[in-house]
Chain A
Amino acid sequence: MSLLYNIGDWFTLGTGNTYRKIELYSMDFSDEVDLNHMKIFGSPFGGPIAITKNLNEPKKVGVNTKPVIYIFSSSGKLISKINWNSGVLLTMGWSDSEELLCIQENGIVLIYNIFGQYQHKFSMGQEATDTQIVDGRIYPSSQGTGIAVMTTHFRIFIANNYQDPKVRFLPEIPKSVLDPTSWTVLIEDRKTTCLIARDQELFKVKQDDNICTAVCISFDFEFKAIRFMSVSYNNRHIAIYTNTGILWLGTSDLRTKYCEFNCGRTEMPKQIEWCCDIEDPMKADAVVITYPSILLIVGINGDSNIYTYDPAIFLIPESDGVRVLTNNYHELIQKVPKCVTSIFGINISEPSSFLFESYRKFCERSHQSDEYLCLIMDKIEIAVDECIKAAGYEFDTETQKSLISAAHFGKGFIHGHNPDDYIRMCKILRVLNAVRKEDIGIPLTINQFLHLTPAVIIDRLVFRKHYSLAIQISKHLNLSESRIMEHWAYHKIMYDNNDNEIVQKISEKFKDPLKLGISFCTIAKRAEEVGKTKLAIKLLELEPNQSLQVPLLLKLGENKKALLAATQSGDTDLIYMVLMQLKDQTPLSKFQMIIREFPLAQNLYKKYCSLNNITALKDIYLQEDDFLAQAEMSLEEALDSHIKLDSSLLDISSNYKRAHKDIEAEICDDHRKLMKQQKTLEEKYARAFHGLSLHDTVRELLVLGDLKMVEKVKNDHKMSDKHYWHLKVEILSGNYQWEELEKFSKSKKSPIGYEHFVDACLKARNINEAKKYIIKCREDKRIILYNRAGLYEDSAKLAFELRDTQSLINIHNIVSLTNENNLISKIESLIASVSSKK
């Protein structure tokens, strides 16, 4: 079945691989621009085209060589002009966010937006600047848009993301008298890789590798030098062109060769670009080569076609085809998608083709419609799907319409058809057609549309100031309008002059900023960027999220407001941010006054000082009359360095006193006296007393047996009697001086009772001694003490005397774990008799 629908521009490469040329726009450049003497740099995804005088043409002496860069839309509408006023321009390219990157001979990269407004610049490194560069490439890297430059010494520097340029150096190729003849960039395993050809040699250098590798590829034909290399958009294939006009096609890792093709020309081609197919990438990919007036297309199986064109012909590679631009028209070469061939192909008997025909006949009110339909009734769902899909690939609105209508016609015959795909396609087509219109000029294919996502497309429209279309599309696709609104707000800020009016208008439009997903902060930032400080502050006040306000307020110099917002947000990191800046910008005394009003900020500053700047912390304590903190701080310092201790104790104690900490002051004073005594003791006994506490000093003296001194120190420092008794018991029992201990216990009535004596004896495992003191204890404690001493019999007796059944039972429980059956039965009888007496 053949239909004479728009298949005039179809052609085949080998069997089954049908390609087509679609005319996108007819071009009408202004008189200034004659592509014959120009070089063009097109952006993928139907983006803008930069055109300038051919940079490689030899410069005429005495003529102003500063070029003009024209930026056109894909439909040939002039968007802007840049009068180049900088260094020597080497090459250009577009980033994935449609910014124009211009590489200069001195390694500086300048960035312009599509309106020709200068954005910023960066350098590819000192070495690149010093040695100058000979060539540059702009490539899609794994991290964004990358830039690679080759210096005059043939060293390569790359930056994988121009928005955050980290310049890296790729390994060098071996030295030689020969110069490289060609180079290209490709991405392998997400890493940027360069292929460099030097006559017949081929080298591969990879980011993060230490050395370069030489690669060998097999050629059937003879050649002297590799002149040209081109990598496909998906980094899968490579084309290599030699001085003898041989085209080598293979995988980009150079391991597999698809074919070698003799182009039959020895002149250098102008461009070589891959035309890739999304549906079936390996089978039907092809290479498009241009020479002046000639376009050659070679499939990876070696089939070819040749076309004659205007002399000036330029290629712009896309992910799913190649665009061809000449002085007069702009067309797209792509593989015809399968669904389209199934409908419009020659001698086709696919269901979709019959459905389409059936619909046509239906429109003609012909009965044949039913006959066609009957043939495919069992496959009608496939047919409808294919018609819907095919509509997406069409650029001609009439064709789209008839395909969609055919699908609509067909789906009427399907019971319970799910219309989602149909509706989705209709929606997409409306958007595609709108952006393809000449005044917008973005000729996206459906695959590109899906890849970019509607949000990005809306961004691009907004950036080109097509606000109303952007809003319409957002509404049409149920997307958030926030970005468009934001951009609108930016526009207002830039071009309106009445601050109050702007604030009012913006706050009117953004009634529910959270729901819209808009932040006043970002808008305020824009105002600040264009120097409208007051406006920025006003806008910031509308921002409900305080943490977002802080950085901008700081930038605007509103330090106090920033500090307030930061403390309110509770985010201590923000408070530090303000503090650090405030500290640098204001005199210290004023700084301290300001932070006094913000206790949280002051606390954080104190903490910061304690880690970084102790003197500053002291300053604050002094200023705040915080005597306690002063005392504690000097005490801590003094304890760290024992030498300073006695000299600073006086000061510490007076600070404690001023802080109404009388006890602490007294303790410090006492300790100072103690230290003096310790010094004399050290001389007397030639051993270290320094740093000991009172307790340890007395103990040391007790051990030394200097009872006179013990008495003195004890009295001088009012060591409590209890404390002294404890110490003495500990030392006597520790030295097993049992007689001494007993004597001591009888020296007077113990201020600490006698339990501690028992404990001390038990600790030394002397039960007999312990017994002596148990009797002296209070009756109610004795049972427990006997138990602890393991004297269960005594304990039981006592309990019996006291008629304490509970204790008897407890003792019984403990004893029953042992094997002392005598004791067990004794206790049992005691329990029995106590209970009976009751």
Chain B
Amino acid sequence: MGDFSHLITQKVNLALVQELALNELIEILDKCEGTKVLMWDETLTGPISLIAKPEILKDRNVVKMFPIKAGDLPNVDVRNFIFITRPNLQLMNAIASNIHSDERKNRVYRKNFYLFFLPKRSLLCENQLKSKGVYGNFQVIDDFKCQLFPFDSDVISMEYPDAYKEIYIEGDYTCLHHSATALCTIQKLYGRIPKIVGKGKFAEKVKELAKTMILNEDISIERGSIDQLIILDRSIDIMSALATQLTYEGLIDEFYGINNTIVNFPASKFNSQGEEASFNRMTSTTEKKQIILNSKEELYVELRDKNFNAVGPVLSRLAKTLTDAANERHGEKTIKELKEIVEKLPKLKANELSFANHTTIASLIKEHISQYDFLDELSCEQDFMMCVDLDKSNEYIEGMICKQKPLENILRLICMQSAAGNGLKQKVFDGYKKEIAHSYGLDALLKLGKLEKVGMIRVQSGARSYNILRKTLNLTVEDFMEVAPKDISYVHSFYAPMLVRIVEHSLKPLGWNGLNDILSCIPEPSFEDYQLPLVNGSSSTTGRRDSLTSEMSQSDIPRVILVFFAGGCTFAEISALRFLSQQDDNNVEFVIATTKIINKHTFLSSIIN
């Protein structure tokens, strides 16, 4: 069934998510007899690669795959065409044009069309097909019920595009409903989660929806393998979404973009590992080196969550062991020793390759982060994190505007200033607006308007909650350690992402209740809810696993907590959560679920574009 072994290392086996999705896919393919062509919504090919290997499709008589594009269908002599898409009106128009062109060309033996919507059918899309007059041309129109894509043994993402924009700009809560459905799917797979806590208006909405949905589903009320669910609104902590991530994985994502665990680097930077350098490689500069980053690779597991400053030492230590191992191969050896070495060779080879790749990647990253622009921008955002000079117009930002640096970078910094100061002084805000309009024209007004609507830039009002929380939650740490960290703040050098800090605090003996006071300065609802009837005293024979009150005393078995980020989370936040679970005294395992994995670029551009 393909190689998805990396999904199975935790108590909660995420390979089940993969299998569920794969079975859905196979069921869909089996609805169509004979050889077939798959037509994909391009945004889905990445996520689908996380659940199905190409061989499986081949086994199901899939001859070829193409992205959906308007115009003629690709010229393949196959009768059956299966479209798989997210509900997207543009793609409906493209599909309709495909069908019209087929009708013109093949008057007698037309193709058979199938259409599947991920994660479910959409009325608007179907109406669109009807208005284009092709609705009746499909043999089957149905759902491809797949909400979750497993990224790794502890991370699942819905890969829902533009969730934040939909909720905050358009007021469209489709994503919340999908999130709730996804949480139901998780509970169908792993059993009911007894306790749900969370913070934020939309987190609460997701919880409410999921709770009613569960009631209408036939899920056993048996307690499952997940002990607790924490739902957090992205909007509570914009700072961390926009902050530059300083972990290895986070930096790779910010500079090269990790899409569904796949990342492309300029191939010219990579040694062609002993292969003969082909002409192609020599001549083309656009060629990409594709690397899959997941926990299948031992070295990557070690590096991914580290602060970038800790990556160098690991690599040089490894360089030493590799040379030692290589040296070991030479010199006098007994037959037995030789045999052992030969057995180790393939692994050694893989290690060498992995080492070479990561050395190259690290040097690429190093190049980027040594740029003065990067460093200046970083120090500016770090000033904001420390709440330095929030009430003044920031000189660095002004300079950037006057130099017409990329607008998105500027807007990001302004958002951070606003987040740190709970808004900008009216004068400062107006000044920025004017300067930006002078540099970038009226177009920029619309982008500013969107950020204002979302509340990411606003005029100062109310208590400076960030600054309060910075102290109460100890968000900026003074004696920080990047290489051998003692605190999650290492992911941004000295700044701890707030949502993860909240999770960390909830692990303490006082639990979620203890947090409520601290979080009261954020004007969003906080909730704590139970999905199982509390066991009453008389039935104490059922054992401690059933008793919620004794939960805290179970110190030997690690608790499993599902953390759901409504609106996206960053790799740095994932790393921080992993760091927490590695601390023995926490005794916890996390499963991280998110609407999408974001970084400072993708998050901002999904809102303003």
Q: Contact residues of A with B, CB < 8 Å?
A: 190-191, 208, 210, 514, 517, 544-546, 569-573, 576-577, 580, 599-600, 603-604, 606-608, 611, 628, 632, 635-636, 639, 645, 663-664, 666-668, 670-671, 691-696, 717, 719-720, 722-723, 726-727, 730, 752, 756, 788
Contact = CB atoms under 8 A, between A and B. Distances in A.
24 contacts: A190-B33, A191-B33, A208-B79, A546-B212, A576-B122, A599-B171, A603-B170, A603-B172, A604-B172, A606-B170, A611-B89, A635-B446, A663-B430, A663-B434, A666-B434, A667-B437, A693-B440, A694-B439, A695-B402, A695-B404, A695-B439, A722-B398, A723-B435, A726-B399
B215 A514 contact: yes
Interface string B192-236: 000000000000010001001001101000000000000000000
Contact of B437 (A599, A639, A692, A693): A693
Interface in B403-457: 403-404, 430, 433-435, 437-443, 445-446, 449
Given A210-B109, A514-B216, A570-B205, A726 B176 contact: no
Interface in B120-157: 120-124, 127
B174 interface: yes
B177 interface: yes
Contacts of A730: 403
A692 B441 contact: yes
Contacts of B215: 514, 544
B173 interface: yes
Interface string B389-404: 0000000001101111
Nearest to A730: B403
Contacts of A668: 442
Nearest to B449: A632
Contacts of A210: 109
B372 A671 contact: no
B170 A667 contact: no
A191 B174 CA distance: 41
Given A599-B171, A603-B170, A671-B442, A720 B435 contact: yes
A307 B127 CA distance: 64
Contact of A717 (B127, B176, B438, B445): B438
Given A717-B438, A726-B399, A570 B120 contact: no
Given A544-B215, A756-B399, A576 B124 contact: yes
A139 B439 CA distance: 75
A572 B438 contact: no
A44 B158 CA distance: 48
Contacts of B216: 514, 544-545
B403 A726 contact: yes
Contacts of A607: 170-172
A570 B443 contact: no
Contacts of A788: 372
B173 A600 contact: yes
Nearest to A567: B173
B180 interface: yes
Given A514-B215, A544-B215, A727-B402, A667 B174 contact: no
A572 B89 contact: no
B303 to A, nearest CB: 23
Contacts, number: 117
Query: At the interface, is chain B mostly helix, strand, loop or mixed?
Result: helix
B438 A694 contact: yes
A571 to B, nearest CB: 5
Nearest to B90: A611
B437 A722 contact: no
B434 A667 contact: yes
Given A208-B79, A635-B446, A752 B121 contact: no
Nearest 4 CB-CB pairings of A with B: A603-B171, A726-B402, A693-B441, A572-B174
Contacts of A694: 437-439
Contact of A573 (B121, B218, B437): B121
Contacts of B212: 545-546
A694 B124 CA distance: 43
Contacts of B402: 695, 722-723, 726-727, 752
Contacts of A545: 212, 216
A256 B401 CA distance: 85
A161 to B, nearest CB: 12
A727 B439 CA distance: 10
Contacts of A599: 171
B170 A639 contact: no
B437 A671 contact: yes
B446 A580 contact: no
A517 B218 CA distance: 9
B398 A576 contact: no
Contacts of B449: 628, 632, 664
A634 to B, nearest CB: 11
B442 A667 contact: yes
A141 to B, nearest CB: 13
Interface in B474-532: none
Contacts of A190: 33
A693 B399 contact: no
Contact of B445 (A573, A600, A664, A752): A664
A133 B346 CA distance: 72
Given A635-B445, A717-B438, 12 more contacts: A208-B34, A546-B212, A570-B177, A570-B205, A576-B124, A580-B127, A608-B124, A671-B437, A671-B441, A693-B438, A693-B439, A694-B437
A667 B123 contact: no
B442 A573 contact: no
Contacts of A571: 177
A599 B170 CA distance: 11
A570 B173 contact: yes
A526 to B, nearest CB: 20
B566 to A, nearest CB: 13
B173 A572 contact: yes
Nearest to B166: A607
Given A545-B216, A720-B435, A572 B440 contact: no
A600 B171 contact: yes
A666 B173 CA distance: 35
B571 to A, nearest CB: 29
A591 B124 CA distance: 19
A570 B434 contact: no
A607 B172 CA distance: 8
B541 to A, nearest CB: 25
Contacts of B438: 693-695, 717, 719-720, 723
A91 to B, nearest CB: 28
B175 to A, nearest CB: 9
Nearest to B109: A210
A155 B128 CA distance: 36
Contacts of A635: 442, 445-446
Contacts of B439: 693-695, 723
Nearest to A759: B372
Given A671-B442, A722-B402, A726-B399, A663 B433 contact: yes
Nearest to B398: A722
Contacts of B89: 611
B519 to A, nearest CB: 25
Contacts of B441: 671, 691-693, 696
A708 to B, nearest CB: 20
A379 to B, nearest CB: 44
Residue among B89, B127, B434, B440 facing the most chain A CB atoms (10 A cut-off): B434
Given A570-B180, A635-B445, A577 B433 contact: no
B403 A580 contact: no
Contacts of B180: 570
A514 B221 CA distance: 13
A600 B170 CA distance: 10
Contacts of B171: 599-600, 603-604, 606-607
Contacts of A692: 441
Contacts of A696: 441
A692 B440 CA distance: 8
Nearest to B122: A573
A698 B372 CA distance: 28
